[in-house]
Structure 1
Amino acid sequence: MASNQIVKRMPLINSVVRWVTTRRSDEIQYYRKYPIEIQNETLFYLIQSAKDTVWGKAHDFASITSLLEFQQHIPLQDYNDIKPYVDRLRKGERDVLWPGETKWFAKSSGTTSDKSKFIPVTREALEECHLRGPKDIFMQYIITHPETKMLKGKVLTLGGSHQINNFNKDSYYGDLSAIMLENVPFWSDLFRTPTTEIALIEEFEEKIEQIIATALEENVTGFAGVPSWYLVLFNKVLEKTGKKNLLEVWPNLEVFAHGGVNFEPYREQYRKLIPSAQMHYLETYNASEGFFGIQDNEHSNDMLLMLDYGIFYEFIPMSDFGKENPTVLGLEEVELDENYALVISTSAGLWRYIIGDTIKFTCKYPFKIKVTGRTKHFINAFGEEVIIDIAENAMNVACQHTGAIVNEYTAGPVFMGEKQRGAHQWIIEFDQPPEDLNHFISTLDNTLKTLNSDYEAKRHKNLTLEMPHVVVAPKGTFYKWMKQRGKIGGQNKIPRLANNRQYLDELMNMLPDKS
């Protein structure tokens, strides 16, 4: 449909949108007031729905009357625990983890394994969670910005791709973004570019070319997705058009709903690409396993935990994580500013599933969170316990103090040797390098000390840890590395920290000077 036809229908569209947003806003206000009650309702909705499934019968769901009984009946799970059940689902078996047939599976390797995981995505999970999240983030934006002209244009999407599952011709797998594109209402095409056919092109670089060929003439007012991959697209757009920034291409850009990775390392690059004080950035917390949080206040960098998406939450204190019988808390038991591993039970048939993310609460009533890292992504080779949240904060401070802008980075240990003290090695690709690299390194180091007493203790007099070893990588290194690993586009993420040298060694072998 042509843009002028959309504009003609704007009064009707706006009326419908305003009615829907007001109604949904009232629902969210309700669960801000009654979060514990809503989570209890969610738990028993899930149990009752699944009591006659293979899983529900095996764990005697019919007899469960309390959270304690639920926890006693079901051990904590990871993907290896549920994989035999997922394999049955992929072959077409019904009523295994959730009632009915599961046709869609989100292919995800995350950053913790090279093996693919196939996360079930049921019809209920799509409608109650994955498709509701994007609606809510834009609903919240419309409420707080009633003057918005976003609906007069289109949202640019950079989707993934899907393939037919080779176990069953009627079931499909692919990036979650692709699954969502296949299941959104037909009328969403009025507000989205490119077409679904282009968005689902499997080859990422071909997709980029097709998007550029079709979207340059559109009135793009917003975009949503993973910041790192949009940078690849936008730099190609500027290269193709010869423009200085994106506002010269799409002058009505006003909102970016981002997720998947921490936005802070990319913020300065986006300020250069979109030099406008009227550009709004909204964080989301979504994964193949579910949509968990939205930023409901642009002046605060935490997110509202979404409690009515068919997800029941539990939390393992990271001080207990990895123990045989860790403490597991309900929502009413959490404390502020403590790191927790997130555990979910969902209408996709995931039961007490540890997704691998760590979060901390910044507020209670309403419950708000920040993502702090991954349960397997940290550096603790020498007892220093550096997590992603601390690394990101230290990197931001180093950039602010030195004028540097970082494209990508990863870090890991340098292990002790006969003539080598321990250290952390950082491989950094700069968009704008610091004038004084040594000042950047010392600022990074000092900030890590300030934020982490364990790191500070190990750095004392260089006895355990030396000053960080920083290797500057040429522009494009991380893109080439991810392409080499078959992990470009979609929901693939640059691993920030590791407690071994796998990623560091792979990258070092790609650099022109490996010394």
Structure 2
Amino acid sequence: MNVIEASIKDPIGTQERVLFENIKKAKTTIYGKEFHFDEIKKVHKFQKRVPAVFYEDFQHYIELARKGEKDVTWHGKIKWFAKSSGTTNAKSKFIPISKESLEDCHYAAGKTMFALYLNAFPETEIFMCKNLRIGGSSELYQKYDTRFGDLSAILIDNLPFYAEMKNIPNREISLMSDWNLKMNAIINATKNEDVGSLTGVPSWMLVVLNKLLEETGNNYLDELWPNLEVFFHGGISFKPYEENYNLITQKQLNYFELYNASEGFFGVQDQLHSKDLLLLLDNGIFYEFIPMEEFGSDKQRFLTIAEVEVGKNYAMVITTNGGLWRYIIGDTVRFTSTDPHRIVVSGRTKHYINAFGEELVIENAEEALKIACERTNARVSEYTAGPVFMQQKEKGAHEWMIEFDQEPENFELFISVLDQSLQNINSDYEAKRFNNMTLNPPVVHKARKKLFVEWMASRGKLGGQNKVPRLSNTREFIDPLIELNKQVF
């Protein structure tokens, strides 16, 4: 807690120290030499000299490092790359994971998570029990003498033995790639253990827990694990899942939110009765924030932790001890406090669906629709899509409303091609669709003619500057469209 307290007491000094420690480590790298890191002594000079980048801008440096090149954007050789969802030009992104980002960011934040929970809930007994961890797809791949896989697999594979002793299932089961076999192995390994805490993504965890209850014949988790106390969750919004978790527990669990990603571990809930996240300022990450009203404009500003304001939405930019420099991660955050710095994750810089960890962005949708139209001789005029949230033991799905200028020759084939194309384009969507593990096939509605015009008019959004929202992480658009589509005029 001393590190946390020190960073809260001096947030500006902490962040400047983190930045210049990272610059010192990388000044002799290819990237450091290109942008003259050795001459950077002030934050404003760093911001002026080093460009802010998206993945596509930075990808060629990452590919060099993936092929075994040393000293590309971080000192030494990067052995690990976390594979996450794709971009416009690639099915998957590969995020460099250095030794420092493993130890001083991800693992350090894990320790912080437990420390903050203990501070908020001193009577906890979770340290007397086991922690059930559920990661996503955990297959690791070897190439160019470097390895890539899901972040969860990288973290588990490198976890110190003393930490491994408190986690179930064991490393062998956790790293299994076949989810059918893995599910059965998890159930057999955990049903007779004394589990006090859960850690994972809400959608994946819910699938496992429902299967566990079905296999054991229990109605509630606390019948199986009387000492179950807390669920540490992250990756996607928990709000759609909370009711489902309450239905499978008789006693009230504590839910502690995390803000972690392949790029870094950014925030942890530090208060029992507030979902605000304490921004971790001393984990090897230097933060900048672009006001959303300026995002993408020629006049966008990059604010430091000293300049942010409560209540405003910002696009987050990170410089990490894994070798990412002024990287625009795509998340938006809103500060609820600046003493200490607490945030909530408010969304993404683009339209997206991430209700189940699939990170489906508009570029994915556009490309998949194009392929489906080409295969079925169709033309799409308007569309929008949103999630079908899990209900009790039902799986989730995506629900689409599509208005065609020319309808598909085979509507069922159109749906199938759309689904398969999304899997080919987006590896996270593919993982969730595997064997209908988390997501069922998409539900697609044919919109009657002029439906979207009528809907936009009803919202006062007609006109050239008003665009149909393509993707949403809620049902705020798809539900009214379905209702309007039922009306006959």
TM-score range (shorter-chain normalised) is: 0.7 to 0.9
Kindly indicate whether the alpha-carbon contact (under 8 Å) linking 1:35 and 1:365 is maintained by their aligned counterparts in 2.
Answer: no
1:37-90 Cα distance to aligned partner (Å, 9 max, x none): 111111111111111111000000011111111111111111111111111111
1:248 partner amino acid: E
The match for 2:270 among 296, 311, 332 is 296
| Aligned pair partner of 1:189 in 164, 175, 178 | 164
Q: 2:21 is matched by which residue type in structure 1?
A: Y
Helix, strand or coil at the partner of 2:317: strand
Contact 1:410 1:427 in 2 (8 A): no
1:234-273 superposed matches below 5 A = 234-273=209-248
Distance 1:501 1:294, change over 3 A: closer
Matched, 1:500 2:470: yes
480, 488, 493: which one aligns with 2:432: 488
Where 1:372 maps in the other structure, the secondary structure is: strand
Residue 374, structure 1, aligned to residue 348, structure 2: yes
Q: What corresponds to 1:96 in structure 2?
A: 72
Q: TM-score, normalised by structure 2?
A: 0.75
Q: 2:22 aligns with which of 31, 46, 67?
A: 46
User: Offset at 1:144?
Assistant: 2.8
Q: Is the 8 A contact 1:224 1:258 kept in 2?
A: yes
CA deviations on 1:393-425 (whole Å, 9 max, x unpaired) are: xxxxxxxxxxxxx9x999999xxxxxxx99966
2:287 is aligned with 1:313? yes
1:271 to 1:411, Cα distance in 2 relative to 1, 3 A? farther
Q: How far, CA to CA, are the matches of 2:60 and 2:217 in structure 1?
A: 52
Percent of aligned positions with the same letter in both sequences? 44
Letter in 1 for 2:210: N
Deviation at 1:159, TM superposition (A): 2.4
Residue 337 of structure 1 and its aligned partner are, at CA, apart by: 1.0
Residue 275 of structure 1 and its aligned partner are, at CA, apart by: 2.2
User: Are the structure 2 counterparts of residues 114 and 276 from structure 1 closer, same or farther at C-alpha, using a change threshold of 3 Å?
Assistant: farther
TM-score by length of 1: 0.71
CA apart distance, 1:112: 7.6
- Between the aligned partners of 2:106 and 2:83, the Cα distance in structure 1 is 15
Distance 1:493 1:66, change over 3 A: farther
Q: What is the one-letter code of the residue matched to 2:338?
A: K
Deviation of 1:338 after TM superposition, in Å, equals 0.8
Distance 2:45 2:180 in 1: 50
Conservation of the 8 A alpha-carbon contact between 2:384 and 2:470: no
User: Residues 150-177 of structure 1: CA distance to partner in whole angstroms, max 9, x if unpaired?
Assistant: 12211011124132332x1x31111111
d(CA) in 2 for partners of 1:159, 1:283: 16
- 1:172/1:68 Cα in 2 relative to 1: closer, same or farther (>3 Å)? same
Query: What amino acid sits opposite 2:324 in the alignment?
Result: L
In the alignment, what sits opposite 1:228?
203
1:75-134 deviation line (CA, Å, top 9, x unaligned): 111111111111111111111100011000000016888610000000001111011111
RMSD: 3.5
In the alignment, structure 1 segments of 5+ residues that lack a partner are 1-24, 380-387, 393-405, 414-420, 434-477, 508-513
Contact 1:409 1:429 in 2 (8 A): no
CA distance in 2, matches of 1:59, 1:306: 27
In the other structure, the counterpart of 2:190 is 215
Whole-angstrom distance in 1 between the partners of 2:230 and 2:107: 19
Is the 1:257–1:284 contact (alpha carbons within 8 Å) kept by the matching residues of 2? yes
Match of 2:396 in 1: none
User: How far does residue 241 in structure 1 lie from its aligned partner after superposition?
Assistant: 1.1
Deviations 1:344-376 (Å, cap 9, x if unpaired)? 001100000001100010001110000011111
User: Within the alignment, does 1:83 sit opposite 2:59 as a pair?
Assistant: yes
C-alpha distance in 1 between matches for 2:231 and 2:117 = 11
Please list the CA deviations of residues 490-509 of structure 1 after superposition, one character each: whole Å capped at 9, or x if unmatched: 9x9989xx9437999xx9xx
- After superposition, residues 30-41 of structure 1 pair within 5 angstroms as 30-41=6-17
Separation in 2, partners of 1:111, 1:261: 18
Please point out which of 135, 141, 144 is paired with 1:159. Answer: 135
> Would the alpha carbon gap of residues 345 and 285 (structure 1) be closer, same or farther in structure 2, given more than 3 Å must change?
same
Partner SS, residue 487 of structure 1: helix
2:114 pairs with 122, 129, 138, which one?
138
Contact 1:258/1:281 (CA < 8 Å) preserved in 2?
yes
Change (3 A) 1:76 1:281: same
